[in-house]
Amino acid sequence: MSVNTFYFEKTKNVIEEIQKSVIGKDEAINKILMAILARGHVLVEDIPGLGKTTLAIAFSKVLGLDFNRIQFTPDVMPSDVTGYSMYNRKTNDFEYKQGAVVCNLLLADEINRTSPKTQSALLEVMEEQAVTVDSVRYMIPDPFTVIATENPFGSAGTQKLPESQMDRFMIKISLGYPSIEDEINIMKYKKEVGREIPSSNVMTAAELVEIQDYINTISVDDSIYDYVARLAKATRENDNILQGISPRGSISTIAMAKACAFLNVRDFVMPSDIKSVFAYTASHRIVVDNSLRNSELTPENIIYDILKTTQAPTISFK
């Protein structure tokens, strides 16, 4: 069984185009694309200067998305995100002035440098694709994705995101430092073309919506649902975890697995798809015992251990 060839070729071209400006981060590119295809949001945690912003801008350019960027600082207000109502003397009425969130792809840069009040302005729109201003609800254009960047917790001026905010992100990734070879290529690239970002639109927003709708139809066997439920239960019963993943985490895992199957040219989900995405959909949702903070038992390591000890189903498709 295979996927729609036209849709697959489109997404393949997207990956190839983004790789031209984002060097040596193929895994991150694939996972972010999966999240976008699955109608999810992405949290990228890393130190400054590793290409987080470049990556987000590249996706907006190549996918043909209306793009906004908001740099989060302590003085950014919720209305900067959602918009506000302003009185118009000519019409003798209040008019809605759009905030940064009214777009297809919002880059929420350094989200953990702003106040919890401003961070919470994103909760409604990330879940419901709408904002409410002065009791009036405004829908956000489709497709819609938030790519948020954050500096590692403990960096100057940062504060930890609350669990409710973390749970809204479908995946969390880190880019990490480049290899020596990749860093050499990055320096050569910047020397030759400056800070140029790919400008060719490989895909339109309308085509992206079509592909998102198609991916949602990818087949998931009941044994896969059972597998994800058992993985979720394992996070809730693990002695090293104070808080396991929510049902939203399970839903995100299935959605990401469908996108993973699509990029692997299949129209059905395999256990390998779940294993490929689970660490990205689960590690930021669990709360690890504080006594383990200085140990080598990281959230990612705990999730990988759970994957190793949870029996995966054996399924076959004719």
Tens digits of per-residue pLDDT, 13-65?
999 999 888 888 899 999 999 999 999 999 998 877 777 888 888 999 999 99
Q: Where are the domains of the chain?
A: 5-73+104-112+139-209, 218-309
Helix axes of 299-309 and 271-282: crossing angle, nearest 10 degrees: 150
* CA 318/CA 312 separation, integer angstroms: 19
Cβ-contact 157, 108 below 8 angstroms? no
Mean predicted lDDT score pLDDT of the chain: 88
- Give every CB contact of residue 299 below 8 A, 6+ residues apart in sequence: 283, 284, 286, 288
Q: pLDDT tens-digit profile of 124-143?
A: 999 999 999 988 999 999 99
Q: What is the dihedral of CA 20, 23, 25, 30, to 10 degrees?
A: 0
Any idea which of 18-27, 43-52, 75-84, 199-208 has the lowest mean pLDDT? 43-52
DSSP labels, 21-58: TSTT-HHHHHHHHHHHHTT--EEEE--TTSSHHHHHHH
* CA 140/CA 17 separation, integer angstroms: 27
- CATH class for the region spanning 5-73+104-112+139-209: alpha beta
Any idea which of 100-104, 118-122, 254-258 has the lowest mean pLDDT? 118-122
Map residue 120 onto helix, strand or coil. Answer: helix
- Give every CB contact of residue 315 below 8 A, 6+ residues apart in sequence: 221, 223, 224, 270, 271
pLDDT given at position 153: 64
Greater confidence, 187 or 156?
Answer: 187
Instruction: Please state the length of the chain.
Output: 318
Q: pLDDT tens-digit profile of 291-301?
A: 755 566 889 99
Q: What is the dihedral of CA 139, 8, 189, 54, to 10 degrees?
A: 20
- CATH class for the region spanning 218-309: mainly alpha
Q: What is the mean pLDDT of residues 215-236?
A: 97
